[in-house]
Structures are given as C-alpha cells and as structure tokens.
Amino acid sequence: MPLNNKPPPAGVLAATPHVIDYYPPIKPASRTRLQAVAITVLLTIMTVFSLGTFFLLSVSIHARPSSSPIKNVVVLVQENLSFDVFAGGLTYNPDIDGVVNHTYCNPANVSDPASPQVCAQSTAKNVAADDPDHSIAGGNQQVYSTYHPHLDAHAPSMQGFVSEQIAAYGLDADLPRAAEVINYYSPDHVPVFNALASNYVLFDRWFAAVPGPTNPNRAYLTSGTSAGHGANDNDFLTSSLPQVSIFQQLSAANLSWTNYSNTTDFLPDAQFYAWTQSSGAAATHVKPLDQFFADAAAGALPQFSWINPECCQYTSFHPPSPINMGEAFVKRIYDALRASPQWKDTLFVLTFDEHGGFADHVSPPEGVPPGDALAYSEQAPDGKTTTFRFDRLGVRVPTVLVSPWVGKGVVQGRPGGAGEGEFTHTSILKFVAELWGLDVLTPRVEWSASFGNLVTNVFRADAVERLPEPAGEW
C-alpha cells in the first residue's frame, strides 16, 4: 500500500466541524432520507474516482531511488519574509526578479485610485516594528485588494500590502511607517544571505504553499497538505493532524531523520502529526538544536534533518526578530554543515514559511491542485466569511539550495521541465520522494516541480568555507 494522503471518505469530511468540504453545502433540515442516500452515493463515487486517479498517478511516479550524490538533506524553514523584501535588493545578478531597477509601489488606500503611492526603497530596518497581517483574509487583501477574491473577477495585482498595513495598524497619517511592509534590504544588510545566494542556487520564483500563516505552510512543507487548516489553531499544539507526513514515510522506509528544534511557543513541525506521538518518534527523533551542531561536527547527521528555528523573537527573522540575528543563525547552520565530514554528501535547503505580510510584486499562481478536498473558512476583518480551497499558492519567498553539488550563482526562475507545476514548498517533498523512492504524498506534491536536475555530478571544491559576518545593527 502506498503511504500517502488519500482523500478521506466523505463521512469524515461531513463530521469534521471546523472544515468545509469541497462539495456544495447540504442543509440537514431540508435533507430527505432519499436525498441523503443519493448524495452519499455521489460523494462516494467522486471520492473513489479522485482517489483512484491519484493512486494511479502516484504509482506511476513512485520514483526509483536515484543515483544522486546527495545522502543527507537538511532543511531550515525560517519565518515570515517575502522574496522582494529580503532578496529583491540583491544586485550580484541583474536577472534576479526583484526590485532593483524596478519601481514597485502600492497605493496608500487600495480603494482610492487618487491616494498617494508608497514605493519600495532599500531602507528596510533591522527590526520591523509592526508585524504585518498574515492571515488568509489579510493575504487576500494584499494580493487581490479585497478580502473576498473571485478568481474570475479579481486579478492578483499585489497592490494591497500597504493598504492592509494601514488598516491593521491605523497608520494613515504615517506613510513612512506603513512603507515598512514594502521596503527592502540592500545586500549590505543581508551579507550572509547574499553570500549563500551568490555562491549557490537562488530561486526567484518559489512560492509559499498557502497564502496564510506559519503552521498551515509548515504542514504543507512536511506532508503536502494542511488537512483543511488555514490558521495556527489548537490542532497544531496537540499533535492532532491525521495525515501521513514525510517523517512517518522516512521511518517506514528505514531512513533516518531528526527534527532539531529550537522552538518554544509552537510544537516542532514533526509533532504536528498524531503518528509522531503514537509511534514514539516524538521522544526519539525530536532533539534540541544544540544536538544539530554536535551531530554535524561528529558526522552523525541523519539522512533527513529538519530544523525548526526559535520562534519568534530572536533568530527566526519573524518580526520583531532582528534581521542580523537571523543572519547570524543561518551562518551558524551553514558553517557547521560546511565543516562537517558529511558536507560532501549534503544538500541544504533554506526557505521561509510564508511572506509574513510583507510585499512582493509577483502574482502567485492560481488554479493549482490542493493537497486534499478540505476547505477552510474564517471571518475577514469586514465581518464576512471568506472560504479558501487551497487552490492557489502563497506569496513568493526567498529560497536557496546549498551543496557542493549545485552550480555557483545560479538564479532559478520557472522550472524547465514539461508538465511540471512551479517551485513551491512541496518541491522539497517531491525531490525527497525522487531521491529515496518514496510515494508522492498528495496531488499538490505531485504537481510541484522537483529541483533534482539542479544537483549536478560535479563536486565543487570552491565552496566558501565560512560565510561573512552579519551586518551590525542599523
């Protein structure tokens, strides 16, 4: 049996109170017995059909283990920064799709065409004072200029970030402060990231999985779906996610993994899942971050290392974490891997969970396969309900691929392969499935582009030994 996340049976959807299924709502009061039977039969047929389609596809792409030089994969997911704000100011390659030599502005009031424009400048501060809105509803406003987008009527014009910041913080008289949401870092501010990107592979078209907050994105990162969750709700704190995760898959395949964690207010990502608790893996496979540095030095890293940063005051980049402390943390991780006896076998992926409400000028793709058939609803700031079906990606986030087996200074845009979707968080799962011959977990993972073709068979002896020091405070 493939270890993947099949769509749950229709009865499970209907019984779960806080999620809405894919199909038209059914009013129990008006439902006759005959109607109920007919609907159940219909839902069962649809579920079986979609399950069968996915099963066929997943079997066909159940990859053979590849002959890759990569034996160890290390993933660090930092917090809450968009591509343009963190990486859009990099200048080492004019092909980077950022904000250098490109004017990107948002109106102060997205509903008023005559309102002043607030334009991106390279004056972003080390500490962002006002954590921008990153709910699903806030993200709708940022991307579509409305809390209630209809994909046929509203374009993802990326004009609503400043307006939403003003609405969230009442900053209408303080446009320079509202501009914090769109201003970006110069290479001098982010020397660590600049060195990583310019020495390895920078993706300038990598999208978060969900246009919403951290845990739904972290669930997509580690299982290819959030199982209908669009907020950081209690289920993430109680290990209640039912779906198969990469951690469960790796254990089933006898591949070693550790979730090194420095988080405090949130559970480490591996512990979102019921399986991690019930199998005992939470006790054996989740370790404090200090163990990562010890394992790297000893050459004892597992095949798959998943690093949860501290969240969200100091080293995660999440406001109010200072940017230069986040940089220092990334440097510690890289320097430890570079000095490790396992460096020659290692691929390190650094990405960000979501855009954190910060601005980006590239429209996220629409009409993408969701991880499953579950939808999510929340109340927007205007009091009305907004429903999201996980059928579009989140905002672009900075991502780098670091290894002695990748090219130097590669700027990777759209994937080249025919029939591939885009680079997005679930590209990591797609790559790992190919690398180790695992089942592809969900339709979203299957659609995602792998980055396997960026791993070469040429070992680079020129890999920088230590990254530069982070910037001082500014």
Instruction: Fill in the per-residue mask, 173 to 212: x = in contact with ligand NAG (CB under 6 A), - = not in contact.
Output: ----------------------------------------
Interface with ligand NAG, residue 118, by CB under 6 A: no
> Taking contact as CB under 6 A, which single stretch among the options 20-28, 152-160, 173-181, 305-313 is the one that binds ligand NAG?
305-313
Q: How far is the CB of 169 from ligand NAG (least distance, A)?
A: 12
Q: Does 91 bind ligand NAG (CB under 6 A)?
A: yes
Other residues' Cβ atoms within 10 Å of the Cβ of residue 94: 9
Taking the least distance from each CB to ligand NAG, the nearer of 57 and 300 is 300
Say whether residue 67 binds ligand NAG (CB under 6 A).
Answer: no
Please identify which residue in 300, 328, 410, 464 interacts with ligand NAG, judged by CB under 6 A.
300
Residue 446 within binding range of ligand NAG, rule CB under 6 A: no
235 lies in the site for ligand NAG, by CB under 6 A: no
Q: Which of 254, 367, 418, 462 binds ligand NAG (CB under 6 A)?
A: 254
Say which residue the tokens 């649809």 belong to. Answer: 46
* Residue 109 engages ligand NAG in binding (rule: CB under 6 A): yes
47: left (phi over 0), alpha (psi -120 to 50) or beta: alpha
Smallest distance from ligand NAG to CB 50, Å: 28
Which one among 6, 189, 285, 396 touches ligand NAG, defined by CB under 6 A?
285
Output 11 or 65, the one with its CB closest to ligand NAG: 65
Of 318, 331, 425, 430, the residue at the interface with ligand NAG (CB under 6 A) is: 318
84 lies in the site for ligand NAG, by CB under 6 A = no
Q: Binding residue for ligand NAG (CB under 6 A) from 257, 317, 390, 405?
A: 257
Residue 229 interacting with ligand NAG (CB under 6 A): no
Does position 3 interact with ligand NAG (CB under 6 A)? The reply is no
Answer for the pair 213, 231: CB distance below 8 angstroms, yes or no.
yes
Residue with tokens 């395949």: 253
Which one of the spans 250-258, 391-399, 412-420, 444-452 is the region binding ligand NAG (CB under 6 A)? 250-258
Tokens 């501290």 belong to which residue?
Answer: 310
Q: How far is the CB of 424 from ligand NAG (least distance, A)?
A: 17
117 binds ligand NAG (CB under 6 A): no
Select 417 or 437, whichever has its Cβ closest to ligand NAG: 437
Nearer to ligand NAG, 211 or 370 (CB): 211
- What is the three-state SS of the chain? CCCCCCCCCHHHHHHCCCCECCCCCCCHHHCCHHHHHHHHHHHHHHHHHHHHHHHHHHHHCCCCCCCCCCCEEEEEEECCCCHHHHHCCCCCCCCCCCCCCCCCEEECCCCCCCCCEEECCCCCCCCCCCCCCCCHHHHHHHHHCCCCCCCCCCCCCCCCHHHHHHHHHCCCCCHHHHHHHCCCCCCCCCHHHHHHHHHCEEECCEECCCCCCHHHHHHHHHHCCCCCCCCCCHHHCCCCECCCCHHHHHHHCCCCEEEEECCCCCCCHHHHEHHHHHCCHHHHHEEEHHHHHHHHHHCCCCCEEEEECCCCCCCCCCCCCCHHHHHHHHHHHHHHHHHCCCHHHEEEEEEECCCCCCCCCCCCCECCCCCCCCEEEEECCCCCEEEECCCECCCECCEEEECCCCCCCEEECCCCCCCCCCEECCHHHHHHHHHHCCCCCCHHHHHCCCCHHHCCCCCCCCCCCCCCCCCCCC
Q: Is beta strand 410-412 parallel, antiparallel or unpaired with respect to 201-203?
A: parallel
How many residues belong to the site for ligand NAG (CB under 6 A)? Answer: 39
Nearer to ligand NAG by C-beta: 88 or 421? 88
* Selected binder of ligand NAG within 5, 47, 78, 80 (CB under 6 A): 80
Residue nearest to ligand NAG (CB): 134
Options 78, 145, 258, 442; binder of ligand NAG; rule CB under 6 A: 258
Q: Give the C-alpha separation, 155 to 144, whole Å.
A: 6
Which range of residues in 126-134, 222-230, 374-382, 434-442 is near ligand NAG by CB under 6 A? 126-134
What is the distance between the alpha carbons of residues 330 and 410, in angstroms, rounded to a whole number? 20
Binder of ligand NAG out of 253, 297, 328, 464 (CB under 6 A): 253
Report the site for ligand NAG in 355-384 (rule: CB under 6 A).
356-357
Return residues touching ligand NAG (CB under 6 A).
79-80, 91, 94, 100-101, 109, 111-112, 131-132, 134, 172, 213-214, 232, 253-254, 256-258, 262, 264, 285, 287-291, 295, 300, 302, 310-312, 318, 354, 356-357
